[in-house]
Every structure is written in C-alpha cells, then in structure tokens.
Amino acid sequence: MAENEQEESIISHLEALRKTVLKCLYSVVIVLPFMFYFAPKVLSGFIKIILGSNKVTLNFFSPAEVFIIQIKMAVLLSLIICFPYIAKQLWNFILPALYEGEKKFIKSLVLISSFLFMAGVVFCIFMILPLIIKFGLSFQTENIQAVFRISEVINLGLWLALAFGLMFQLPVITFYLIKSDIVSYSSVADKRPYVVVALLIFAGILTPPDVVSQLMLAVPSYLLFEGGLLFSKIK
C-alpha cells in the first residue's frame, strides 16, 4: 500500500513538472512572433553599444546570416520577457515542498541571484565588449585591416554576456555554502590561491582564447568572491 502511494506521489510530481515545463514553453512560443518585429531594432542597438566609439563596419558572408542572428535575438528576447512568468511557475512547483524558513531564504537567494546575473550581463555589454573590440582593432596597421564578421561578434557578445552572468553568481554560491555550514569561512578563505586558479581556468573555458577576455572575467569574479566572503561574516 505504501509503495503504491509512493509511486502515485512520484507520478503526480512528474505530471506537475510536465505541466510546469509546458506552460513555460507555451509562454515563449506565444511571445516569440512579436519579438521577431523588435529583433532587428534590438540587434542594431546591441551592435552600437558593443562597438562603442570604435569605427567598425560589421560584414556578413552568407544571404541568411543576419536573418539567423535575428532569430536568435528574437528567442533571447522571448526568454527575457517570459522570465518573470517562468520563474513564477517554477516557484509554484517547488513551493509546496519547502518550510516557511526555507521559502524566505530561497526567495531572497533567487532575487539576489537574478540581480547579480543581470548586473553581470550589463557589465559585460557596456564595459567589457567595447574594450575587447578596441583591443582587437589595436592590431591594425597600414597593411593589416580588421574585417569583423557580424555573426562572430554577436555570438561572442551573447556568449560573454552569459558567462559574466554566470560568474557573477559566485558571491551567492560562496555565501550559501558558508551560511548553510557546508563549508566554514576559514576553510574557504584559506583556499584563495586555489580559487584564483579555478577562476582563471573557468574564465579560459568560458571566454575566447585570449588573455584579455580571460582576465576581464576572472578579475571581477574574484572581487565578487571576496564580496561573498565578506557578507558571509555578517550575522
């Protein structure tokens, strides 16, 4: 009897998860056609920001290249627009399994995590990408001229924005591990050299193979790690 109830419970949870995932997917599909209209304008604004004051003309080398980029941008915009609804659906799914104290802790954690992710994305787009473009242009000479492919620049921008958003989660992870007594403050603080090496490795994986991009990601990430350590000491 107990086994049957357990199986029914698992099936009901899986069914609830399926409905939650479908609701999230439907929301994106519904919004997607409208985002196709805004995609070219957003793409144009995105290019202006990351190019900054650098005088660069982006080029494309296949008929459908820009159209494919606009599709990617439309999907990304749909996910951003639907994020609050998706987050609410996921929250409603896990809510019944949490205690009151856990609800408050996770809610604050999600809010801080979302803020840090957006801060990482904004920091990357407005500060890091223009510097990377400027760095690339610095190799121009009278005989060597830069020709940037639009798909490579946009893919680089989106990938780096995601990487910065993820790496900006470091203070949340550090804070959570220490506050949950999974690790102690002293044990984490003593392993700073290992953290530096790990961040450089992750930065090397998440960024293009150049030292500038890696340091631009690793240095802010380490400062955020120190911030997480500092806040974990607050009672």
Note the pLDDT tens digit of each residue in 101-132.
Answer: 666 767 777 788 888 888 888 888 888 888 88
Dihedrals phi, psi of 88, to nearest 5 degrees: -65, -40
**pLDDT value at position 31?**
92
In a domain, residue 123? The reply is yes
Alpha-carbon span 219 to 222, nearest angstrom: 5
In a domain, residue 141? The reply is yes
In a domain, residue 117? The reply is yes
- Residue 164 forms beta bridges with which residues? none
Is residue 87 within 8 Å of 25, Cβ to Cβ? no
In a domain, residue 151? The reply is yes
In a domain, residue 57? The reply is yes
**pLDDT value at position 176?**
77
Q: Which residues of 88-97 are buried (b: 16+ CB within 10 A; e: fewer)?
A: ebbeebeeee
pLDDT truncated to tens, each residue of the chain (235 aa)?
Answer: 455 555 656 777 778 788 888 988 999 999 999 999 999 999 999 888 888 777 788 888 888 899 999 998 899 889 888 887 887 787 777 777 666 666 676 777 778 888 888 888 888 888 888 888 887 888 888 888 888 889 888 888 888 888 888 888 888 888 777 777 777 778 877 878 888 888 888 777 766 666 777 787 788 888 888 887 887 776 5
Enclosing domain of residue 144: 2-168
In a domain, residue 235? The reply is no
In a domain, residue 50? The reply is yes
User: What total number of domains does the chain contain?
Assistant: 1
In a domain, residue 224? The reply is no
Give the tokens for residue 53.
């004051």
